[in-house]
């Protein structure tokens, strides 16, 4: 292989190397001890030296040097393990460069030309293998060659990185290399003549842990459903553990739930994944979570700097992050000072004069006539230039958008806040009024219209005035709006509770939904117009839950509040059909509508569902379950005494699920819950984790003394029900938790009523060290466990459905399911991903359930498993034909995909079926639709197995001149035919239909199949004789039962057109030969077949898919 030119002294090289070929500019050398007769002392010494050297220090036995005539300095430009390999490079140099070098008058210029050419060759080769993106391309290329040689996976199996480590075989460590690719973890070691080699697909990893103890230093434990593997002695354990976790997480999200989980576009293309991409992705995920930015934001620059903080009268050191639409600053200590500036608010980014006290300053000016000063910026010029370019592009887009919006308003005069959408034909005035109410967007928060005075409200008003004054003072010092400095003081103010008059504004500020609202002010109104009036399963679910959302609040005892809630939920479902509507969204939207305008409440809901609680509201609530798993680990780490009393922490995480999904709104009194929402908008999900831990810690003694799990749940419910706030009063509205209890034994906690402000303060002081970075790392690891738990449930459900209909043992059925699933994954690894994605999308459109959609095999996949599991000979042309017929037979819905149920029932017939069942299967394999099209052409009549009574008039000339109308008529006829077929199938569902009679040419194919089954059998001769007798007998029966030709018979047709035979006649004929009966009733060893299939599945499919990939 070509090597990056490295200078060597030729004088020293001659002691260890022998020159084999040479010319004026190049030398081809061989390492002493290689290719020499045994016994030479020099060769033995050099060989011993090479053996004891570490693998990273060893050199290749053959190399090519570039030399300058008359100089003792040379450069290594190529190396190889064999003479043939290095000769190829020598020949290339002789044919392509040697003649060009003769024209250089200065020989040093010629040497520089060669070095540049070799570097270009290396760069070109590196682009193909992504080696150029690694820290050490040469070392990576060497590891890549070893990876391909040791494991022989398809070339599309991209190696991401590798680590030197050891694995443990009992108490014996085996030093080797751990290879991490896009789909697999692989390890190879060769020590003292013993080889250790294994491959673990990421799809089989169920848990990743850092472990230590015993003989092993701290290392990584990779657990699958079958066993555990421990790896230790890493040079950088933190980096290795992070990369292993990322690759497992990405692979599982891509393979197991690509539709439900959001995945970055780069990560959806495995060929583009490198170690550097993983590092950038981990940093991007952290930045998005820290600043709670939209998932579409791309991270551009990361720079250390210091920002001037007027409130502290000093510069605060930290890190600047720039994305597509934001500037974000975070202090070195996470949470101490955070600044977020949308680029839409930025007027200019300018460089200021650098001084000794203000090195490399940059001034960022915003629309509110404020400026932010950043200093100590490395590569300041490049940063400012990049930001200026993005600012200009953004301002151009804004200008064009404002122009188009102005033109639309002039022509349509739409009001973004008041939109009327109703049927003017309606004559009923009440119905018209209801329709207007349904589609009129409120311009004020509901609390302004439904805020009611209660006894003790004067004290509340006084408290509100004091809070408002404190906030105004804070705004004067720290700024107001989204680019306000977020510090400890802001945190303390929020813990006290945001005044109602500022709550909506601050929610918008802290979540930066103001930018979304300003960027498209008419978006929500247009969604309301489009979505309202439509009926679907989602809208039915929304209607069901409308009156369950804060039912005790007067705003939602009124049609105005209900209509606003309906509009927000329906508009969001229309915006994001992937989520649609999920329970608990109604509760969150209700709270948002009370304190924010309707359009603002919509954007706040968008921020919660898509940014602040990602993956919480998809079809399987994956995000919430991941956080519950993270919460269990935090309980074990932060509350070990409580964890010791709960062997199964899922009891606590199950009750806390509603805390996370509804941000405590469903379990706390209303005023206390609103304070938690305030805290959540400031801290994000970190706030819910901290508060949940504080609630458990406050009740630790009662929980440890519980009688049973039900008692523990009642303790927590009663505690939360009595958490008060400074704003609540005896007569004021409070949301009663649905799981509250009036049991007398639980009245005790009410006496020591907790205060929400104190609870939030204690949560921050006790668990404030829980950072966003740690939560993101834990989520990455625990997502693996949650997705695999869903896989286990999917498998259990699939087996539960199939088990009653088969005789295969449960253990074997589970193994078959794993083989079926692995075959699906292999195609995702190295097959035609576009075809798999198209089949997946088609399944979604047809409304196929998740279980049926997840694992279905196409024809090539089925043929692979057919060859591995069928007890019949699968080789040869006829074996492939039989596999194709079997696929056609099992593909009953004609979707070209087979479900696990279809596959299991087929295998059950082969291994556990009676003689009659096997003969019936063979019989059906030689009738339509199992027969392929080419085989059907030999038939006199090509009649489908199911037909319609409705004629299809294709050849009749259309009376309409328009070709589109003609095509439309044709499509309508097809639809009517399909409807007739469906109705016919429904009528005949419970009626046992007799099998069609077999024609002579079909029977001949049947006999060929039987003969192919006997090939290689010990009793092959006897079986051939038996089938010959049966064939003769059946032909005689067929001739005897031949129907006399009708008067209208076509004499030009095939001679066997009237020859027919039934299944019963074939079965009776087969029973006359005991040899055939014994063969068909012979028990087949499914256990050994499954074991062999597990070993050969990869080796059989990988080369074929690699060939297919190369042909594409």
Residues 554-570: tens digit of each pLDDT:
888 888 899 999 999 99
The Cα-based distances of 503 to 418, 456, 471, 507, 616 in angstroms read 23, 21, 11, 6, 24
How far is the C-alpha of 256 from the C-alpha of 786, rounded, in Å?
A: 11
A 10 A CB-CB count for 399 gives: 10
pLDDT at 459: 60
926: left (phi over 0), alpha (psi -120 to 50) or beta: alpha
Concatenated DSSP letters of 927-947: STTTS-HHHHTTSS----SS-
Those residues whose C-beta lies under 8 Å from the C-beta of residue 365, and which sit 6 or more positions away, are: 346, 347, 348, 349, 350, 371
Residue 577 burial by CB count (10 A; 0-12/13-18/19+): exposed, middle or buried?
Answer: exposed
Q: What is the mean pLDDT of residues 734-752?
A: 42
| pLDDT-wise least confident of 472-486, 525-539, 726-740, 895-909 | 726-740
More confident: 54 or 670: 670
Looking at residue 1043, the DSSP 8-state letter turns out to be: P
Q: Is the pLDDT of residue 30 over 80?
A: yes
The radius of gyration of the chain from alpha carbons, rounded to an integer in Å, stands at 37
Look-up: residue for tokens 């498209």?
520
pLDDT at 890: 92
Side-chain half-sphere exposure of 960, counting CA atoms within 13 A? 9
**Residue of 208, 210, 161 whose CA lies nearest to 182:** 161
How far is the C-alpha of 471 from the C-alpha of 886, rounded, in Å?
A: 74
Share of the chain above pLDDT 90, in %: 39
Largest CA distance in the chain: 113
pLDDT at 4: 82
**442-467 residue pLDDT tens:** 778 888 777 644 444 456 788 889 99
pLDDT at 308: 92
Is 189 in a helix, a strand, or coil? strand
Concatenated DSSP letters of 809-831: -HHHHHHHHHHHHHHHHHHHHHS
Q: Is the pLDDT of residue 956 over 50?
A: no
User: Which structure tokens are listed for 554?
Assistant: 């007067």
More confident: 338 or 741: 338
Look-up: residue for tokens 């939360």?
720
Query: Rounded to an integer, what is the distance from CA 66 to the centroid of its chain?
Result: 49
> How big is the CA angle at 670 (ends 664 and 676), to the nearest 5 degrees?
45
Provide the strand spans (E) within 325-472: 326-331, 337-342, 346-351, 362-366, 371-375
Which of 135-149, 355-369, 624-638 shows the highest mean pLDDT?
624-638
Mean pLDDT, the chain, as a whole number? 80
How far is the C-alpha of 861 from the C-alpha of 864, rounded, in Å?
A: 5
Residue 440 burial by CB count (10 A; 0-12/13-18/19+): exposed, middle or buried?
Answer: buried
pLDDT category, 1040, cuts 50, 70, 90?
confident
**691-715 residue pLDDT tens:** 999 999 999 999 888 778 888 889 9
How far is the C-alpha of 604 from the C-alpha of 130, rounded, in Å?
A: 42
**Residue of 515, 512, 519, 517 whose CA lies nearest to 339:** 512
pLDDT category, 750, cuts 50, 70, 90?
very low
How far is the C-alpha of 455 from the C-alpha of 535, rounded, in Å?
A: 44
Q: What is the 3-state secondary structure (H, E, C) of 116-154?
A: HHHHHHHHHHHHHHCHHHCCCHHHHHHHHHHHHHHHCCC
Cα separation of the two ends of the chain: 27
User: Which structure tokens are listed for 43?
Assistant: 């060769």
Q: What is the mean pLDDT of residues 125-133?
A: 52
pLDDT at 990: 42
**275-306 residue pLDDT tens:** 988 999 999 999 999 999 998 899 999 999 99
More confident: 1021 or 728: 1021
How far is the C-alpha of 761 from the C-alpha of 756, rounded, in Å?
A: 8
Q: Is the pLDDT of residue 814 over 90?
A: yes
Neighbouring-strand partners of residue 168: 173
Concatenated DSSP letters of 302-324: EEEEEEEETTTTEEEEEEEEEES
* CB of 373 closer than 8 Å to CB of 363: yes
**Helices 457-478 and 500-511: crossing angle, nearest 10°?**
40
**Residue of 879, 904, 737 whose CA lies nearest to 818:** 904
How far is the C-alpha of 318 from the C-alpha of 383, rounded, in Å?
A: 16
pLDDT category, 1042, cuts 50, 70, 90?
low
pLDDT at 224: 94
Q: Is the pLDDT of residue 742 over 60?
A: no
Q: What is the mean pLDDT of residues 848-859?
A: 66
Q: Is the pLDDT of residue 989 over 50?
A: no
**Residue of 722, 725, 715 whose CA lies nearest to 753:** 722
Neighbouring-strand partners of residue 176: 165
| pLDDT-wise least confident of 147-161, 217-231, 310-324, 723-737 | 723-737
How far is the C-alpha of 526 from the C-alpha of 529, rounded, in Å?
A: 5
pLDDT category, 933, cuts 50, 70, 90?
low
Look-up: residue for tokens 């006399």?
1044
Q: Is the pLDDT of residue 34 over 70?
A: no
pLDDT at 420: 29
Q: What is the mean pLDDT of residues 474-487?
A: 90
Is 197 in a helix, a strand, or coil? strand
Looking at residue 611, the DSSP 8-state letter turns out to be: I
| pLDDT-wise least confident of 351-360, 579-588, 662-671 | 351-360
């Amino acid at each position: 292989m070509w090597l990056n030119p490295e200078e060597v002294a030729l004088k020293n090289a001659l002691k260890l190397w022998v020159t084999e070929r040479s010319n004026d500019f190049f030398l081809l050398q061989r390492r002493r001890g290689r290719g020499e007769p045994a016994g030479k002392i020099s060769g033995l010494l050099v060989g011993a030296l090479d053996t004891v050297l570490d693998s990273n220090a060893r050199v290749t036995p053959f190399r090519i040097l570039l030399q300058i005539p008359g100089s003792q300095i040379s450069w290594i430009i190529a190396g190889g393990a064999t003479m043939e390999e290095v000769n190829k490079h020598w020949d290339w140099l002789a044919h392509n460069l040697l003649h060009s070098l003769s024209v250089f008058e200065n020989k040093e210029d010629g040497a520089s030309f060669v070095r540049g050419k070799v570097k270009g060759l290396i760069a070109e080769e590196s682009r193909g293998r992504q080696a150029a993106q690694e820290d050490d391309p040469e070392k990576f290329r060497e590891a890549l060659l070893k990876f391909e040689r040791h494991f022989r996976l398809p070339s599309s199996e991209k190696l991401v990185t590798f680590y030197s480590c050891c694995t443990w075989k009992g108490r014996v460590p085996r030093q080797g290399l751990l290879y991490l690719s896009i789909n697999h973890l692989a390890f190879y070691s060769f020590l003292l003549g013993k080889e250790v080699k294994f491959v673990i697909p990421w799809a089989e990893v169920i848990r990743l842990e850092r472990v230590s103890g015993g003989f092993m230093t701290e290392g990584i434990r990779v657990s699958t459903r079958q066993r555990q593997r421990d790896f230790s002695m890493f040079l950088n354990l933190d980096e290795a553990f992070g990369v292993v976790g990322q690759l497992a997480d990405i692979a599982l999200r891509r393979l197991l739930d690509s539709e439900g989980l959001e995945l970055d576009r780069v990560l959806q293309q495995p060929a583009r994944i490198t170690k550097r991409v993983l590092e950038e992705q981990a940093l991007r995920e952290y930045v998005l979570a820290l600043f709670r930015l939209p998932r579409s934001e791309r991270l551009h620059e990361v720079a250390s700097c210091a920002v001037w903080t007027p409130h502290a009268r000093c510069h605060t050191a930290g890190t600047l992050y720039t994305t597509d639409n934001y500037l974000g600053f975070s202090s070195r200590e996470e949470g101490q000072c955070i600044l977020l500036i949308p680029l839409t608010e930025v007027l200019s980014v300018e460089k200021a004069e650098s001084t000794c006290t203000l090195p490399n300053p940059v001034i960022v000016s915003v629309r509110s006539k404020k400026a932010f000063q950043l200093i100590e910026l490395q590569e300041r010029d490049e940063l400012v230039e990049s930001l200026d370019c993005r600012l200009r592009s953004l301002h151009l887009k804004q200008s064009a958008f404002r122009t188009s919006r102005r033109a639309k308003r002039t022509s349509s005069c739409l009001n973004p806040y008041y939109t009327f959408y109703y049927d003017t034909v309606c004559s009923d005035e009440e119905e018209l009024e209801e329709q207007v109410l349904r589609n009129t967007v409120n311009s004020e928060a509901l609390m302004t219209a439904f805020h009611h005075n209660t006894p003790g409200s004067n004290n509340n008003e006084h408290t509100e005035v004091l809070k408002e004054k404190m906030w105004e003072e804070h705004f004067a010092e720290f700024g107001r709006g989204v680019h306000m400095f977020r510090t400890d003081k802001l945190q303390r103010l929020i813990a006290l509770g945001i005044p109602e008059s500022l709550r909506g504004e601050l929610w918008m500020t802290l979540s930066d939904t103001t930018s979304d609202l300003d960027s498209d002010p008419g978006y929500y109104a247009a969604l309301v117009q489009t979505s309202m009036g439509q009926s679907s399963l989602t809208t039915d679910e929304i209607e069901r839950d409308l009156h369950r959302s804060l039912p005790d609040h007067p705003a939602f005892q009124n049609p105005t509040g209900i209509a606003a809630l309906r509009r927000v939920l329906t508009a969001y479902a229309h915006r994001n059909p992937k989520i649609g509507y999920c329970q608990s969204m109604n509760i969150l939207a209700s709270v948002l509508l009370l304190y924010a305008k309707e359009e603002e409440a919509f954007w706040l809901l968008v921020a919660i569902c898509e940014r602040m609680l990602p993956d919480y509201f998809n079809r399987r609530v994956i995000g919430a379950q991941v956080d519950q798993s993270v919460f269990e680990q935090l309980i074990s780490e932060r509350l070990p005494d409580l964890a010791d009393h709960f062997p199964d922490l899922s009891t606590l995480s199950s009750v806390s699920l509603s805390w996370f999904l509804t941000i405590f709104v469903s379990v706390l009194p209303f005023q206390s819950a609103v304070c938690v929402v305030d805290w959540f908008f400031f801290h994000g999900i970190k706030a819910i984790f901290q508060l949940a831990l504080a609630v458990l810690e406050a009740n630790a003694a009662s929980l440890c003394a519980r009688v049973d799990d039900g008692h523990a749940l009642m303790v927590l419910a009663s505690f939360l029900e009595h958490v008060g706030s400074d704003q609540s009063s005896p007569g004021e509205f409070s949301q009663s938790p649905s799981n509250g209890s009036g049991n007398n034994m639980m009245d005790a906690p009410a006496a020591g009523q907790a205060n929400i402000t104190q609870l939030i303060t204690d949560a921050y002081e006790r668990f404030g060290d829980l950072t966003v970075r740690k939560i993101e790392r834990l989520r990455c690891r625990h997502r693996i466990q949650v997705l695999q738990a869903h896989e286990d449930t999917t498998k259990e459900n699939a087996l539960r459905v199939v088990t009653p209909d088969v005789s295969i043992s449960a253990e074997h059925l589970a193994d078959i399911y794993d083989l079926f699933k692995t075959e699906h994954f292999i195609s995702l690894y190295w097959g035609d991903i576009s075809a798999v994605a198209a089949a997946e999308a088609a399944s979604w459109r047809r409304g196929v359930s998740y279980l049926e959609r997840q694992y279905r095999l196409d024809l090539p996949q089925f043929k692979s498993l057919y060859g591995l599991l069928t007890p019949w000979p699968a080789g040869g042309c006829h074996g492939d034909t039989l596999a194709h017929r079997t696929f056609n037979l099992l593909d009953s819905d004609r979707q070209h995909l087979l479900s696990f149920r279809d596959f299991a029932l087929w295998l059950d017939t082969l291994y556990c079926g009676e003689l009659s069942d096997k003969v019936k299967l063979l019989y059906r394999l030689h009738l339509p639709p199992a027969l392929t099209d080419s085989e059907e052409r030999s038939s006199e009549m090509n009649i489908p197995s199911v037909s319609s009574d409705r004629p299809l008039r294709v050849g009749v000339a259309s009376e309409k001149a328009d070709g589109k109308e003609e095509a439309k008529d044709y499509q309508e006829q097809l639809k009517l035919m399909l409807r007739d077929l469906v109705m016919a199938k429904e009528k005949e569902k419970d009626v046992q239909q007799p099998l069609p009679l077999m024609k002579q040419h079909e029977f001949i194919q049947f006999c060929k199949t039987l003969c192919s089954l006997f090939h290689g059998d010990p009793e092959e001769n006897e079986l051939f004789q038996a089938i010959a007798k049966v064939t003769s007998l059946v032909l005689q029966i067929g001739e005897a039962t031949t129907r006399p030709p009708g008067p209208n018979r076509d004499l030009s047709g095939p001679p066997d057109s009237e020859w027919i035979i039934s299944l019963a006649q074939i079965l009776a004929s087969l029973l006359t030969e005991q040899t055939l009966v014994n063969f068909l009733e012979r028990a087949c060893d499914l256990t050994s077949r499954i074991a062999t299939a597990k070993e050969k599945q990869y080796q059989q499919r990988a080369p074929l898919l690699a060939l297919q990939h190369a042909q594409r």
